[in-house]
Amino acid sequence: MSELFYDAAPNATRVAPARETERRYPDKPAEVSLFGTCVVDLFFPEAGLDAIRLLEQQGVRVHFPQQQSCCGQPAWTSGYREEARAVALAQLDLLDDGRPVVVPSGSCAGMFRHHYRELFAEEPDNLRRAEELAERTFELTEFLLKVCKVQLVDRGEKHKIALHTSCTARREMNTHLHARELLAQLDNVERIDHDHESECCGFGGTFSVRMPDISGAMVLDKTTALRESGAAEAISADCGCLMNINGVLEKQQQTFRGRHLASFLWERCGGEQ
């Protein structure tokens, strides 16, 4: 079902993503680079700042390379291989410093970890660099849980939330499992299961532009399930989905909204309201 809504590049060689459950994790580093993603930068800057605060709270110094741009995923999944290669090459050059790269988005982290290998499959030197970057790339919740081994202390009041995880983040980075495990550490937070959690919100990058009617029906199902779940708000680790879900909720004139997991965790565990 999920593959139906994945805009695979028509000229790409499909390579099955590695099982992230088998990944070997390093000790907590002193420094990391944050790849903020273009959606976080343009639409959810507070999520990027809260991600930095969470990492600093764990004693990790965060670098933010100012020249970073897109990971190349929109061009890649739309079949524009050369355009995606140019964008990806710029990120390879920028992040070629040996530091772990933390990404507050499972889909963008998945682009680094899995699809740069495909993109540079016929370029030995760049393929080596892509493979090295892949091993240094971690989605934010994964890094907090598996590398920092964070133990969260919940300072908030009792609260009910519903979790949304993007299709790509689930398949390629196991973000749904990492998010659930982090949320389970919060004593006063109840995660409400809803029957549409594993379903696509209809965004799918360029899918929502090319198939607006289907996309609209899908996000209507998603927002209805979230509102009827009994949760006070929706939490997600992917801002592309949040942009789509919140946009429809606003159009529906609903007060229910979605928030990035980084901001939610920072608020609950010592951050400012």
pLDDT tens across 238-257, in order?
999 999 999 999 999 999 99
Q: How confident is the model at residue 91 (pLDDT cuts 50, 70, 90)?
A: very high
Q: What mean pLDDT comes out for the span 55-66? A: 97
> What was the pLDDT predicted at 263?
97
Q: Which amino acid is at 88?
A: A
CATH of domain 8-147: 1.20.1050
> What was the pLDDT predicted at 169?
86
8-147 and 159-268: same fold?
no
Full DSSP string of the chain: -GGGG----TTPPP-PPP-GGGPPPPPPPSEEEE---HHHHHH-HHHHHHHHHHHHHTT-EEE--TT----SHHHHHTT-HHHHHHHHHHHHHHTTTS--EEES-HHHHHIIIIIHHHHTTT-HHHHHHHHHHHHHEEEHHHIIIIIS-------SPPEEEEEE--HHHHHHH-HHHHHHHHHTT-TTEEEEP-TTTTS--S-TTTHHHHSHHHHHHHHHHHHHHHHTTT-SEEEES-HHHHHHHHHHHHHTT-S--EEEHHHHHHHHTT---
> What was the pLDDT predicted at 164?
93
> What was the pLDDT predicted at 272?
54
Candidates 3.40.640.10, 3.20.20.60, 3.40.50.11810, 3.40.50.620; correct CATH number of 159-268? 3.40.50.11810
> What was the pLDDT predicted at 31?
98
> pTM (2 decimals)?
0.89
- Report pLDDT digits (tens) over 192-240: 998 888 889 888 877 888 888 998 999 999 999 999 999 999 999 999 9
> What was the pLDDT predicted at 199?
87
Q: Domain ranges in the chain?
A: 8-147, 159-268
Question: Would you say residue 70 has pLDDT above 70?
Answer: yes
- Report pLDDT digits (tens) over 119-167: 999 999 999 999 999 999 999 999 999 999 999 999 999 999 999 988 8
Q: If we measure between CA atoms, which residue out of 188, 186, 167, 185 comes closest to residue 176?
A: 167
Question: Would you say residue 12 has pLDDT above 90?
Answer: no
